[in-house]
Structure 1
Amino acid sequence: MSPFDAQPTPEIFTLNEGRKLGLSRHRLYRSGLEIPFHRLRTTPTADPNEDEDATRFSNSEYARTLSRQDPSLVISHQTAAETWGMWLPARMQTTQIHLSRVRGKAGIPRYRETVGHFIRAGVRDVRDIGGFRITSPEWTWVDLASQRLTVDELVAAGDSLLQRDDGFPRPQTFIGTNPLATKDSVLEVLGRRKGSPGIRNLRLAVDLLRERVDSEPESRLRLKMVDGGWDEPATNPRIRFADGWECDIDLALLRWRIALQYEGKHHFTLEKQYRSDMHRDEQIRARGWEPLRVDSEVFTRQGWQAFGYRLTTAVERQQRQSSWMPFTVGT
């Protein structure tokens, strides 16, 4: 850092932000700072052993900084979805950043490694958050259909907008609080965008959106069960038993009193979580329910076949059961 620079250099910043910090022209243009995008600067990695190909900053971080540099830019499409923390398929991971401008305000954004768009979003469809602009969650969801998502993938992305407010805490890298939208607000935006690319898939997907889904695998499993001919399970209902005990269930087949619990990696690696899951299963079983725990193996061919056998067997057992504790379903 030059002795004339007033403050330490941030890891990522715009030229305007650097000037406001008092960084000299030499520091901004000739001191070895990296230039990932026009008018954007990042400091070189401090770790000489760090993989040169490793990504230091996410697409969202780059996009937020670019939008702060140019207020006419709006973070949109896939990059907006990543910023909101929507559930996207792994195949969509890319280094490209999606930026838009409202049609009639300025030209289409053209930056290296950036996909530019024109949008016809109104004031209510663009949010100003912390100095950067981004399409609303509902508008972003409609835009995702133009990125060739399948109906099931659009359902997962839409479910992520409707998560319960008392569920898992959102990672700090994402913006907003759960739920990001409501079913009605999604329908309202979709109704205004009747000519959007992928509108047929959007109309199919919107009817399949469900509130209170905690994770993308839960969404996928629910859809896979319906496609397989099973009853649609209730998503994260709170079951209250007649003796006063209650619990939340990931996916519940209420007619057969079967509790499906999707186990992520933390369920097996955290001892406290594992003990809690075991206690829950014991309590559910004692009250006449059948707990079934599943993991990512269910999405493989053999895993799905094994799951189908376990579920069929569980239904048969529950059909033979003559008594169970009365319960009510709430949220």
Structure 2
Amino acid sequence: MKNSNNMLHFTFLGTSSGVPTLTRNVSGLAIRNSKNKDWILVDAGEGTQHRIQQAKLALQSLVAICITHVHGDHCYGLVGLLASAGMNARTAPLTIIAPKQIQQWIEVTAQLTDLHLPYPLNFIDVNEAAQIQQITDELSIQAHPLSHRVPSFAFSIIAQNTQKKLDTQALIQLGIPKGKAWGDLQQGQNIQFNGETLKATDFIQLQTKRVHTIVGGDNNRPELLAQACQDAQLLIHESTYTQAILDKVGSGPMHSSAKMVAEFAQHQNLSNLILTHFSPRHQDNTGQQAIAEEVKTFYTGNFYLAHDFDQFSLDETGQLTKIEKY
């Protein structure tokens, strides 16, 4: 199932809004760099660490946690998850990008419950993450403000890798035989050929490949992501209600309907869209069909409605593929 040029791999850990249901947990999304085991967690609703175990993700390989906003269905599982990582003997630092209140909550909870983490937390206030944060050599994160009852954010997750490509045509034209000489050049070593020194730098081309996904928190104004979406290949956004139900519920909860997100994605010419964070009233087959029909009415691109444990991959060509379960 693995494609050699996959760059980001997504596992939905929770797709329900507000409360967990029998088939869906509250918000959590794992995003893995497919070149290795490094992964980022966006939101950690209650029960997320159990979902992580079921999805066979290793807390040791977790490099960053992003919390979109302080509402409990997006963060109540965070402290337990941090404690479990400590009990699993984690020692590597862990980056957390979140509202300042999340840091205060972790500190107070640690104090009141005698929690001592054996690894350092590198806490970045989400308001300061408007600049790109480099998490690993290949993964970086950037925050974008949204509109909700409390400050809420979306995160750009960017995977970028640079590959060295040997200019084989030039080597063939010069008559340099395949084998050790090619290998040495590929490794960056100069070689001797017909009494001349050939520099590796003259025969190596650097190719940078980049994949950009945006994961939104709760938000009633998708258009706030217009600039961020300009070079994104995928938007993952909440779609709590259909438009008809949102009209009934009113503007108080400050959520998006499927119609709002679909119209925005169409307007932005986004090629891929995944909707999540469904109200319990839209989680049965009829409810999901109503959401899907609404999206189809306003958006002509490639879209999915996420279920818990759904997995997707996004490659550098912008191709989004759902990975069928074995």
TM range (shorter): under 0.3
Higher strand share: 2
Q: TM-score, normalised by structure 2?
A: 0.26
Structure number with the bigger relative contact order (C-alpha 8 A, sep ≥ 6) is: 2
Tell which structure's C-alpha radius of gyration is larger.
Answer: 1
